[in-house]
Structure 1
Amino acid sequence: MQRRMLLTGLSALALLSACGGDSTKFKNYNGAPVTQIQVFKKDRKMYLFSGDQVVKTYDIALGGQPVGPKQFEGDGRTPEGVYYIDGRNPNSAYHLSIRVSYPNPQQVAFAESKGRNPGGDIFIHGENNADKRGKKDWTAGCIAVTDAQIEEIYSMVLNGTPIFIYP
């Protein structure tokens, strides 16, 4: 009976670990909690803060048309304003990604008043070399870092974290 229970337990463990996917991209973080993210588009920098202390700094790539705030789907711009991290995608085409809560109700209303869609699906994500094609700013409006960096960010930033995106 004990042997049967042991085999059943080991089989279940093997199945669970097989379903886990690429565990090497999921890091553990035991440092100070990240309480906010600040992005400075002009400088191509992103800062993770714990309180008033910078915990980490990253060089970033933006949308293909980085000047000005995102207004419409397909405009290639990265949003500007205050948002929140509101989701994560462990199976992203861009290695890993965390979702930014764009658009807000005012941005939706503005786009609709112009007969347009405000867009969405704005993320902080890793790389997809097919999209980069040697460009400095290559995303469709997202904030991109290296795959190693998004692994770190993914472990440090929780849903609900505010993100301030400046021009």
Structure 2
Amino acid sequence: MRLMLKRIVILAVAGAALAVGLEFMQVFRVPPAVASTETQATRVVVEKAARRLTLERDGRVLARYAVALGPSPIGQKAREGDGRTPEGVYAVDFKHPRSRYHLALRISYPDARANEAARQAGVSPGSDIMIHGIRNGLGWLGRLHRERDWTDGCVAVTNAEIREIWSRVPEGTPVEIRP
């Protein structure tokens, strides 16, 4: 009986390790299909204080998601590594299907204003600000990832949520990030 239990535990641990490894390596990941035109967003709004991302179509709310931000979310992003999510109006400029964070939508930060402010301060403005899922291999965290702000200035949702967002937000969609 004891030997049988030991084998079951070993198989369970090996299966879990294999599943995490496959997720980490993105072996079977297929980006979701594009949603129908009438369910696609024409604007994304991120409200940092409310920790909320909203998909809108022509002023009508399509969906809302709770988010995690960087560890210092208050205020405008000033430099690389400050842990802040930028504020302003940007656009989705690239959809990253092989991200380290499940799937990701890159926004067009830094813009000319951020580049100039960083140049004058003698710092890098930062880059690669994304709306993304949970780090590969940690997708099992699900909603728990929102218990604290943990990104480097990005906007994070669950893996299931980024799959919905990915399918409904085409490249070029405006993204407004509010304080």
Common fold by TM > 0.5: yes
Following TM superposition, by how much is the alpha carbon of 1:134 offset from its aligned partner in structure 2, in angstroms? 7.9
TM (norm. structure 1) is: 0.82
1:52 equivalenced with 2:64 (yes/no): no
Residue identity matched to 1:137: D
Query: Structure 1 stretch 27-36 or stretch 76-85: which is displaced more?
Result: 27-36
Of 77, 85, 89, which aligns to 1:82?
89
> 1 or 2, which has the higher helix percentage?
2
Following TM superposition, by how much is the alpha carbon of 1:74 offset from its aligned partner in structure 2, in angstroms? 0.4
The match for 1:159 is: 171
Give 4+ residue runs of structure 1 displaced > 6 Å after superposition: none
Contact 2:71/2:152, CA 8 A, preserved across alignment: yes
1:41 equivalenced with 2:41 (yes/no): no
1:142 equivalenced with 2:154 (yes/no): yes
Contact 2:134/2:145, CA 8 A, preserved across alignment: no
Following TM superposition, by how much is the alpha carbon of 1:52 offset from its aligned partner in structure 2, in angstroms? 1.1
Of 115, 130, 137, which aligns to 1:123?
130
Following TM superposition, by how much is the alpha carbon of 1:161 offset from its aligned partner in structure 2, in angstroms? 0.3
RMSD: 2.1
Residue identity matched to 1:29: A
Structure 2: give runs of 5+ residues left out of the alignment. Answer: 1-26
Following TM superposition, by how much is the alpha carbon of 1:21 offset from its aligned partner in structure 2, in angstroms? 4.8
Residue identity matched to 2:155: I
Count of residue correspondences: 147
Q: What secondary structure is seen at the aligned counterpart in 2 of 1:54? A: strand
Indicate how the Cα distance of structure 1 residues 149 and 73 shifts in structure 2: closer, same or farther if over 3 A, else same.
same
Following TM superposition, by how much is the alpha carbon of 1:27 offset from its aligned partner in structure 2, in angstroms? 3.7
Distance 1:66 1:26 in 2: 30
Structure 1: give runs of 5+ residues left out of the alignment. Answer: 1-19
